[in-house]
Amino acid sequence: MDLIRELGALSLASRLKRLSDLLMQDGIRIYKSTGSEFQPKWFPVYYHLAEKGPSSVMSLTTSLGISHPSINQIVNEMIKAGFVAAYKDTKDKRKRVLALTQQGKQARQSLEKIWQPIRGALDEVIEEAGVDLLGYLDIVEAVLKKKSFVERFEQRYNIGLPGVTLSAYQGKYAAAFKSINEAWITEHFEIEASDRLALDDPEGYIINRGGEILFAIDDETSQVLGTCALIKTDQGQFELAKMGVTKSAQGRGIGKLLALAVVEKAKKMGAQRIHLESNARLAPAMGLYRSIGFVRQPFPVASDYSRADVYMEMSL
């Protein structure tokens, strides 16, 4: 039984590493058979330096998308083998500039003769597989760039909290919606006229206009621990607003639970986009919004709130 294959997506990284190891080991055999000291894992760094010229470790990391420690390890091996030399940056002595040595430059011609059949052999493998492997890798990398593996995990792992139940709006929760929001607003700012529209009449201003308000309820005490509103602003457009958590419940992940639930609710209601307005002083809130996929954008129109200096959006 091939356990890694049987595990499917759960072992995706291990599956890719296994394929990488297979190709790397064959690459080592290929270079040895041609009498070259070159190592296949050096290739991206070598090619960058050959094409772009002297570069810093940071520029190599940015260009190749390989971690700083990995670049350093490869570079140190190449220095030891005589392919690369390190120099002090003339403009900033703290920085190390890397360049191919004369030996490294002279190796280019013989390496090109090896790379040509390597490319042909790998093209043959991809052709025989019958799939656009490189194209699929482009797509997977683009998807992960849009929303990382960590972000996707956190959205699933933190979707529920023990001892806490989410509830949709009920009239009996209206007072808690008002008191929780008044508490956090007055702690940092002042209550404005736009706040009163929602806090004094949540049913009329939010629920009856196609929105929703969610509440986090303590299973033991039935106390409202936090709340968050989803306000319909246009067809397919909603606003995440009026999110607050009681002082005693802060630090338990209630805010993230509510925010994720509101986003999921917006999707079910056919939303194409969800936005929010906040203030840069609220650092924990800013971090939470970014972690679940909101991206800061310029204000499309002036805010109704004098305290709002941050506008964020999420496409659904």
Delimiting residues of CATH 1.10.10.10 domain(s) in the chain: 34-146
218: CB partners within 8 A, 6+ apart: 163, 164, 224, 225, 249
CATH number belonging to domain 34-146: 1.10.10.10
CA distance 41 to 45: 8
The three-class DSSP label of residue 305 is: coil
Q: Are 311 and 300 in contact (CB under 8 A)?
A: yes
On the question of pLDDT at 37 being above 70, the answer is yes
Q: What is the pLDDT of residues 103-124, one digit of tens each?
A: 999 999 999 999 999 999 999 9
- At residue 127, does pLDDT exceed 60? yes
Entry field: residues in the chain: 316
- Residue 57: which of 20, 17, 94 has the closest Cα? 94
pLDDT of residue 154: 66
Give the pLDDT score at 252. Answer: 86
Please tell me the predicted confidence (pLDDT) of residue 92.
Answer: 67
In this predicted structure, which of 64-78, 154-168, 197-211 has the lowest mean pLDDT?
154-168
User: What is the per-residue DSSP string for 22-80?
Assistant: HHHHHHHHHHHHTT----GGGHHHHHHHHHH-SEEHHHHHHHHT--HHHHHHHHHHHHH
Distances (CA, A) of 265 to 93, 201, 228: 54, 21, 11
What pLDDT does 251 receive? 84
Task: Identify which has the larger pLDDT, 39 or 143.
Answer: 39
Q: How confident is the model at residue 10 (pLDDT cuts 50, 70, 90)?
A: confident
| 71 Cβ contact list (under 8 Å, min separation 6) | 45, 57, 60, 61, 64
Fold held by 161-315? Aminopeptidase (3.40.630)
User: How much is the pTM?
Assistant: 0.53
At residue 90, the pLDDT reads: 73
Q: How much is the average pLDDT of 305-316?
A: 94
Quote the percentage of the chain above a pLDDT of 90. 76
The confidence band for 5, taking pLDDT boundaries of 50, 70 and 90, is: confident
CATH 3.40.630.30 in the chain, residues?
161-315
Q: Average model confidence (pLDDT) for the chain?
A: 92
Gap between the Cα atoms of 150 and 271, Å rounded: 24
Residue 66's alpha-carbon distances to 69, 137, 213, 310, in angstroms, are 9, 16, 44, 33
Residue 159 has pLDDT above 60, yes or no: no
Determine what percent of the chain is predicted with pLDDT higher than 70.
97
**pLDDT tens track for 241-270:** 999 999 999 888 899 999 999 999 999 898
